Amino acid sequence: MLNSVINLADDLPICRILNGMWQVSGGHGQINHELAVKEMIEYHKLGFTTWDLADIYGPAEFYIGEFRKELFSKDKAELIRSQALTKFVPNPGPMTKSIVEFYIDQSLKKMNVDSLDLIQFHWWNYKNIAYLDAIDHLSKLCSEGKIKHIGLTNFDTERVEIIVKKGFKIKSNQVQYSILDQRPEHLMIPFCQKHGIHILTYGTLLGGFLSEKYLDAINPYKSDLTTLSLKKYYNMIDVWGGWELFQELLHTLFNIAKKHNSSIANVATKYILDKPMVAGVIIGTRLGISEHRKDNSNVFELNLDYEDLKMINAVTKKAKNLIEIIGDCGAEYR
């Protein structure tokens, strides 16, 4: 796949479309374990070699471990091409080295690895500054070889700046970023440009809303929102500007997609991939239930031009300013 790989670090190349595993944690349909691992092999074969997961995503880390065993049994050289970026999402409280190391050891065991490629740290409550203790211990575990690199998840710019000023080495911050939610452009991206921090994005396809399926669809009832993603991102659409404006956006994206012999999802993905400091977009995988691997592969051949961007911006400028309503990146979780 053309231009599909980027170096998150010198020793950590990743696919720019990451396979998101939130969908295996429940609320997105029943996942069959055996079929899920087989599907993961198929993603890998097509070059989608990078997995985004978390210690709190149900069996996600266990699936990675099983996937790695299966990959090893077929061709152990293929393990080198696979990356698994997990998260450390503790409940706020004292963060001693033994506590942090306990959870990291659990992830290592489940994922069947000697060292974690990237640990993406999330913290629920900024009033509890023990997040700095956690980062300190994660850094020590890096020096001990249990972790290769440290990233963040849903940290706002103010807290990322505090962490960077303390001297901690951060490779990435994972934030919500889409055509609708462009909050990262206000504060986060300028800061990351200055300090060489990559952005990994989620919510870029709004849980599937940014697709032909919802073009000309009536405003859905709550009972129509059958997954946690649809429920979450319908609320985002509502806050952003509502269903009527969203339909205008879908029609715009559809026209752009037709022009490029592409899809709405491709256009929405490439729009974000082209943004400064964005290393990759996370697209959820409902393993064994549905997949869009072939369509996702087309993203890397798509080039949006000035007229395309002008058409998109003509719609988005009609929307509300989400940073004024919600706040900086991750504010919706606090």
**Predicted pLDDT of residue 323:** 96
**Predicted pLDDT of residue 141:** 98
Q: Are strands 12-15 and 17-20 parallel, antiparallel or unpaired?
A: unpaired
Residues belonging to the chain: 334
Residue with tokens 């998260």: 87
pLDDT tens digit sequence for 253-305:
999 999 999 999 999 999 999 999 999 999 999 887 777 888 899 999 999 99
Residue with tokens 């490779």: 171
CA distance 202 to 177: 6
Predicted structure pTM score: 0.95
Half-sphere exposure of 73 (CA within 13 A, CB side): 9
pLDDT tens digit sequence for 64-110:
999 999 988 888 888 999 999 999 999 999 999 999 999 999 999 99
Q: Are strands 5-9 and 12-15 parallel, antiparallel or unpaired?
A: antiparallel
The matching CATH number, chosen from 1.20.1530.20, 3.20.20.100, 3.30.70.2500, 3.40.640.10, for 5-208+266-302 is: 3.20.20.100
**Predicted pLDDT of residue 286:** 80
283 with 19: CB under 8 angstroms?
A: yes
Residue with tokens 């974000």: 272
CA distance 63 to 73: 15
Half-sphere exposure of 25 (CA within 13 A, CB side): 15
CA distance 196 to 258: 36
CA distance 39 to 53: 16
| Phi-psi domain of 191 (left: phi exceeds 0; alpha: psi -120 through 50; beta: other) | alpha
The 8-class DSSP code of residue 219 comes to P
Q: First vs last Cα of the chain: how many Å apart?
A: 38
Residue with tokens 């198929």: 42
Structure tokens, 284: 């959820």
**Predicted pLDDT of residue 32:** 84
**Predicted pLDDT of residue 2:** 62
> At residue 268, what is the residue type?
A
**Tens digit of pLDDT per residue, the chain (334 long)?**
667 999 999 999 999 999 999 888 877 777 788 888 999 999 999 999 999 999 999 999 999 999 999 988 888 888 999 999 999 999 999 999 999 999 999 999 999 999 999 999 999 999 999 999 999 999 999 999 999 999 999 999 999 999 999 999 999 999 999 999 999 999 999 999 999 999 999 999 999 999 999 999 999 998 999 889 999 999 999 999 999 999 999 999 999 999 999 999 999 999 999 999 999 999 999 887 777 888 899 999 999 999 999 999 999 999 999 999 999 999 999 8
> At residue 67, what is the residue type?
F
CA distance 230 to 211: 12
Residue with tokens 């205008």: 248
**C-alpha 184 chain-centroid distance:** 14
